[in-house]
Structure 1
Amino acid sequence: MSPSPAPRRLRRALLSTVPTALAGVALVVATLAATGPRLAPVAFADPSSPDPFAGTVPWVDPYSDAARAAAAEPDPWRRAMLEKVARGGSADWIGDWTPTPRQTVAQRVTQVTATGAVPVLVAYNIPQRDCGLYSAGGAHSAAAYKAWIDEVAAGIGSRKAAVVLEPDALASIDCLSATDQARRYQLLSYAVTAFGRYPAIATYLDAGNAGWQPAFVMADRLKKANVASARGVALNVSNFGWTTDNIAYARDLSARTGGKKAVIDTSRNGLGPAEGFEHWCNPPERALGPLPLTPVPDDVVDALLWIKVPGQSDGECSRAEPSAGTFWADYAIGLAARAAY
C-alpha cells in the first residue's frame, strides 16, 4: 500500500438516541504527565502480560445504528445485509459530543462487561482534532482535556477495558506548529498516565496505518507520547489497509518500542485500500473485513477489532455523502454485500 496523499480522517461518532444507559461511548487515552511522578508499571503495559482479549467474546450492541436500521428495513435482502453489519459490533467512541463522560462510560462498561466482552472505547477529544477537517473539534484547552481524560478513566475504574487513544493524533501531527506539537505529546502522555492508574485498562495509542508514516517516524512519535506506559498501538483505525500489511507494520513498531502489542481495525478492509484522491473518505466498492477477535497467528497482535463503526460516513468528501458520523445505510449494505462471508 503506497503512502496516503492526504491523512485519512475519522468520522465523528454520535451518541445513539437510546437511553443513556445504552448510549454509545468511546474511549482511548492515557499517559504519563510530564510534570507528575512516574508511576509503577501497570499490568497491561508489560508486553509479557496476558492478552486482555483472551477468552472473551466480541461485544454486539443490540441498539446499534445498524441493528436499528435493520429492524426498520422492509426489504428482506437489505435487512439481511444490515444484520450482517450489526452482528460484527464495533467500538464505542466518546468525545466532545458526549455529556457526562464519567457516567456514560461507567454505564457502558457495566453493560458490555455483563456479556463477557471487553469494552473497547475510543477517546477522541484532543485539542485541534483532525487538523480542522471533517472531524474537527476537541477540547478547547489543555486543562479541559486533562479533566475530560480523568473523567473517562474514572468511569472505567478498576474494570477491564481497552482504550484506543486519539485516532490520527500522532500520524497527522505535522499539521501543527512546533508549540502545538509539544502540547499534543504532553497531553497524550498525560492520558496514558491517567489510564495507567487503573491496572485493568489496556491503552493503545493510535499509530496510523501501514501506508501513512514510516515505522521509524511513528516509533519516535510514540515514544514522545509515552508508549512505554501503554499496552501498545492501534492501527488502521477507520482505514482500509490490508490486515497483513498492518500486521507487518505492527511487528516493525513493536521491535522499535520494546515489544509493544497492537490491535488492528478490520471493519472495512475486506477488499483492501482504494485508489485515487481521498481514498480514505467513503471510498466505493469496499467490504467488511475479518470479524472482531478472529484469531491471528502472531503474538504481536492482541486482537483484530471493528473500531470504526461500519456504515458511518467519514465526511462529505466533496461529494453528496452524509456528514461525518452519520450512519449511511446504503454504504453499510455495500460493505456487507461485498464481504467474503
Structure 2
Amino acid sequence: MRYSMGIAALAAVVVAAPTETVQDSHPIKARAACASAVTLTPGSNPFSSRTLHANSAYASEISTAMASVTDASITAAGAAVAKVGTFLWLDTIARVPLAATMLAETPCTDILGLVVYDLPGRDCNAKASNGELATGQLAKYQSSYIDPIVAAIKAAPNVAVALIIEPDSLPNLVTNANVSACAAAASDYKAGVAYALKQLNLPNVAMYIDAGHGGWLGWDANLQPGADMLSSVWKTAGSPKQVFGISTNVAGWNAWSASPGEFAGTSDAKYNKCQDEKRYVDAISPLIKAGGMPAHAIVDTGRNAVQGLRAEWGDWCNVIGAGFGVRPTATTGDSLVDAFVWVKPGGESDGTSDSGANRYDSFCGKADAFKPAPQAGTWNEAYFEALIKNAVPSF
C-alpha cells in the first residue's frame, strides 16, 4: 500500500526461513576457534575486525540446488554466493539446534549472524510469514525458544555472535496498532523482545533490534514513535549493554543511498524525508540515542542492487528484477552504520504466488511480484538465478 502522512499501516516484510532443519551435505571442517573468550565491547564495531560467517546451512542449500543446474556460469556464481557471509534464521523451535552447529564451525576470524524470529503471533499484519506460536504462548517462546539459544551461545564463549532481534515486530506495533491481530499480540511482542534482550545479553554477543526500514518508520509521523518504541522495550529489558543498536531493511529492497529516492516523485513524498536507508538511519538514530539506547545500525543489502522495481513502497514479496547487493562489509561510509550485511538468504521465497494456497498473501500476487513462487522460505531456483544475473557488483 502507499503510505500516508499518518501512522501508516504496513504489511510486514515476509522474512521466513525454511522450517525444516537443514543438514550440511559436507562434513564441517575443523576451524581455528579463538583461544580465549570473546568480548564484544559496547560502543565498538563488532564487524570491523571480523568477517560475517558464510554458514554451511545456506551453502548446503545452494549446493543442493546447483546439483540440478547445467549452466556452468550459474553453478560457478552459485558457488561464489555460498561463500558470502549470510545470517541464519532461527524461525522455529525445530531450527534452534542449528545454532550450536553454526557456532561450532565459526572460526575466530568470523562473526556468526543469527536472526531471532519466533514471537507469539509473529508478523501480525501478514499471512505468508506467520509463526508457529500463537498469541498467548509467551511462556513457550521463552522456555522452548529463547532459553535454548541462550544455552547454545553460553556454551560457545569463544565465538563472536551478531543477533538481529525479531524482524518486523516492534515496527508493527507502531504502525499497525489498529489491526486486531497486532493489538492482541502487542503485550507478547514487548515482553518477548525484552526477555530475549535480557537473556541474550552475553559478552560475546552484539544485538541489533529490528527497526523496519525508511519506507516504514521513516515517515515524519512514525519516526519519533518508532524510536520511542525501541528504546522503551530496551529499558524494560534492563538496558542491556550488549544491544549495539538497530537493524534496517531486513529482507528489504530499499537503496542504501539514492538521489532522488525511489519514491521521491510520489504525491506523499513530502511526508517522508527518509528516501533511502542512509537518510533513515541518520534520522532515527539520534532519536533512539536521545531515549538512552545505543543507536548504531546494520543494514541488509542482500537484495537491493536494483531500484525502481516496485509499484509501491510497501510491496515486499519476491520483487521482480532484484539483484544481490553490496557484499557484507564494515566499510560503510557512515559512522552510525557498523556494517552492510546479508540477512535474507537470496533464493528463499518471500511467499507463495498461488492464491489458493495456505498462507497466501495478496502482496505475492501483485504485478511486481515474481511468479510462480513457492511458500515462504522454500527455494526458488529461477529467482535465485535472477538475483545472480542482476547482482551489483556482479559475480
With the shorter chain as reference, the TM-score category is 0.7 to 0.9
Tell me the distance in 1 between the aligned counterparts of 2:153 and 2:319.
35
2:112 aligns to what?
Answer: 119
1:189 aligns to what?
Answer: 194
Question: Structure 1 pair 45/265, CA: closer, same or farther in 2 (3 Å)?
Answer: same
Tell me the alpha carbon deviations over residues 173-207 of structure 1, each in whole angstroms, 9 at most, x when there is no partner: 223454531331121111111111x1221111111
Tell me the distance in 1 between the aligned counterparts of 2:140 and 2:308.
36
Question: Structure 1 pair 339/19, CA: closer, same or farther in 2 (3 Å)?
Answer: closer
Where does structure 2 lack aligned partners over 5 or more consecutive residues?
Answer: 29-38, 258-275, 353-363, 366-370
**Pairs within 5 Å for 1:7-156:** 7-14=11-18, 15-18=21-24, 46=42, 49-62=43-56, 63-96=59-92, 98-99=94-95, 101=96, 103-112=97-106, 114=107, 116-131=109-124, 133-140=127-134, 141-147=137-143, 148-156=145-153
Amino acid at match of 2:166: E
Deviates more, 1:231-240 or 1:130-139: 130-139
Deviates more, 1:269-278 or 1:310-319: 269-278
**Pairs within 5 Å for 1:134-213:** 134-140=128-134, 141-147=137-143, 148-157=145-154, 158=157, 159-173=159-173, 174=176, 175=179, 176=181, 178=183, 180-196=185-201, 198-213=202-217
Q: Residue 170 of structure 1 aligns to a residue in which SS?
A: helix
Tell me the distance in 1 between the aligned counterparts of 2:108 and 2:82.
16
Question: Structure 1 pair 217/12, CA: closer, same or farther in 2 (3 Å)?
Answer: same
**What is the root-mean-square deviation in Å for CA atoms of aligned residues?**
2.5
Tell me the distance in 2 between the aligned counterparts of 1:321 and 1:97.
25
Question: Structure 1 pair 80/107, CA: closer, same or farther in 2 (3 Å)?
Answer: closer
Tell me the distance in 2 between the aligned counterparts of 1:96 and 1:58.
22
Question: Structure 1 pair 106/247, CA: closer, same or farther in 2 (3 Å)?
Answer: same
Amino acid at match of 1:271: V
2:225 aligns to what?
Answer: 217
Deviates more, 1:208-217 or 1:220-229: 220-229
Deviates more, 1:278-287 or 1:69-78: 69-78
Question: Structure 1 pair 56/44, CA: closer, same or farther in 2 (3 Å)?
Answer: closer
Q: 2:321 aligns with which of 270, 277, 285?
A: 285
Q: 2:336 aligns with which of 300, 304, 309?
A: 300
Segments of 4+ moved more than 6 angstroms: 19-22
Tell me the distance in 1 between the aligned counterparts of 2:321 and 2:184.
41
Amino acid at match of 1:58: L
Q: CA deviation at 1:220?
A: 1.4
Q: CA deviation at 1:313?
A: 0.4
Larger C-alpha radius of gyration, 1 or 2?
2
Tell me the alpha carbon deviations over residues 246-277 of structure 1, each in whole angstroms, 9 at most, x when there is no partner: 12212222201225111110000001363226
Amino acid at match of 1:191: A
CA contact under 8 A between 1:262 and 1:301: conserved in structure 2? yes
Q: Residue 287 of structure 1 aligns to a residue in which SS?
A: coil
Tell me the alpha carbon deviations over residues 211-235 of structure 1, each in whole angstroms, 9 at most, x when there is no partner: 1123212101102221743211110
Question: Structure 1 pair 178/111, CA: closer, same or farther in 2 (3 Å)?
Answer: same
Question: Structure 1 pair 179/333, CA: closer, same or farther in 2 (3 Å)?
Answer: closer
Where does structure 1 lack aligned partners over 5 or more consecutive residues?
Answer: 23-42
Amino acid at match of 2:123: D
Tell me the distance in 1 between the aligned counterparts of 2:295 and 2:140.
29
Q: Residue 88 of structure 1 aligns to a residue in which SS?
A: coil
CA contact under 8 A between 1:21 and 1:108: conserved in structure 2? no
Q: Residue 226 of structure 1 aligns to a residue in which SS?
A: helix
Tell me the distance in 2 between the aligned counterparts of 1:45 and 1:145.
28
Question: Structure 1 pair 178/330, CA: closer, same or farther in 2 (3 Å)?
Answer: closer
CA contact under 8 A between 2:110 and 2:160: conserved in structure 1? no
Q: CA deviation at 1:137?
A: 1.5
Q: Residue 149 of structure 1 aligns to a residue in which SS?
A: helix
Deviates more, 1:59-68 or 1:285-294: 59-68
CA contact under 8 A between 2:248 and 2:297: conserved in structure 1? yes
Amino acid at match of 1:51: N
Tell me the alpha carbon deviations over residues 63-91 of structure 1, each in whole angstroms, 9 at most, x when there is no partner: 33223323442211222332343232311
Tell me the alpha carbon deviations over residues 272-325 of structure 1, each in whole angstroms, 9 at most, x when there is no partner: 363226621001011111001151111111111100000110001235311100
Amino acid at match of 1:242: A
